[in-house]
Amino acid sequence: MSHGGFSRGRFLVRIGLGLLCLGGARAALSAEPKAGRDEVSVFAAASLADALTEIGSAWEAASGSRALFNFGASSDLARQIRAGAPADVFVSADTARMDRLEQEGLVRASDRHDLLSNTLVVVVPQDSTARVTGPHDLAAFRTIALADPQAVPAGVYARLWLQGLGLWDALAPRVVPTLHVRAALAAVESGNAEAAVVYRTDAARSKRARVAFEVEPTQGPPIRYPVAPLVAARQPAAGAFVAYLRSPTARAVFVRHGFVVLGGR
């Protein structure tokens, strides 16, 4: 048993399930550019894939520029950016990743904004007969999928929530860590886990999993999605895209997808 209470061998689950969500998104980054258009490379949390894809299409129609998305775990995306990946904009599912990029001089404090919030939920298969109405009922499950609780924001939020309730030590051996939050949802949908802790926005898109209960906001840590253009952004349109994400048009899309829109930094 390794640090954190779960078997690192079970990280094999990350490989197959992660590909379910990211194959098409990563392929988009290699698409051939069209002449005469600015193209902005946007590295964004996997939970934003549906909303940002829709917003990107609207921005392209309005501006003539194009957003190319790389969706994944915020921890992995931040690591890629720090290693020199050609990103123009970063949208993280937590402030810690953005804080580190700021500390390393890769984003400016004046350019970043807290864009969105979200809510954690516990999901089970659509046909599950398990009675799950609160966190203590998780003890009935043998497998609980979480985005990597040591690194990926959704999993870290879930771990902090369970630690705050005094349940983490008992439940950690049952945790199946996944590459990102959508892979945790996919684990339940495919029958590889009996339950998962995911974002409400991801659960809402599933037809093979149902929400057992929502995490009380007062019990879990605050969830924040900050956004910023990178200091080394190759395209002037990077700042324009960040501004568009805060526009009424984009805000309406985020709300429709279940996010809470923030107005602060």
* CATH number of the domain that residue 109 is part of: 3.40.190.10
Q: What is the pLDDT of residues 157-170, one digit of tens each?
A: 999 999 999 999 99
Instruction: Give yes or no: residues 46 and 65 share one domain.
Output: yes
Q: Are residues 246 and 185 in the same domain?
A: no
Minimum mean pLDDT range among 8-17, 94-103, 115-124, 239-248: 8-17
Same domain? 69 vs 106: yes
**How far is CA 208 from each of CA 67, 89, 90, 148, 213, rounded to the nearest angstrom?**
31, 33, 31, 22, 16
Is residue 52 domain-resident? Answer: yes
Residue type, 179: L
Boundary residue ending a domain (177, 192, 214): 214
Distance CA 133, CA 256 (A): 26
pTM of the model: 0.85
Tell me how many domains the chain contains. 2
What pLDDT digit, counting tens, does each position of 28-69 carry?
333 333 434 799 999 999 999 999 999 999 999 999 999 999
Query: Same domain, yes or no, for 208 and 124?
Result: yes
Range of the domain at 63: 38-116+225-261
Do 149 and 191 belong to one domain? yes
Query: What pLDDT score was predicted for residue 26?
Result: 40
Q: Are residues 231 and 205 in the same domain?
A: no
Q: What is the rounded distance in angstroms from the CA atom of residue 257 to the CA atom of residue 51?
A: 6
Q: For residue 111, tell me if it sits in a domain.
A: yes
**SS3 category, 145:** strand
Q: Does 29 reside within a domain?
A: no
What confidence score (pLDDT) does residue 29 get?
Answer: 38
99 and 44 share one domain: yes
Q: Are residues 107 and 233 in the same domain?
A: yes
Asked if residue 130 and residue 165 are part of one domain, the reply reads yes
User: Is there a single domain that holds both residue 135 and residue 97?
Assistant: no
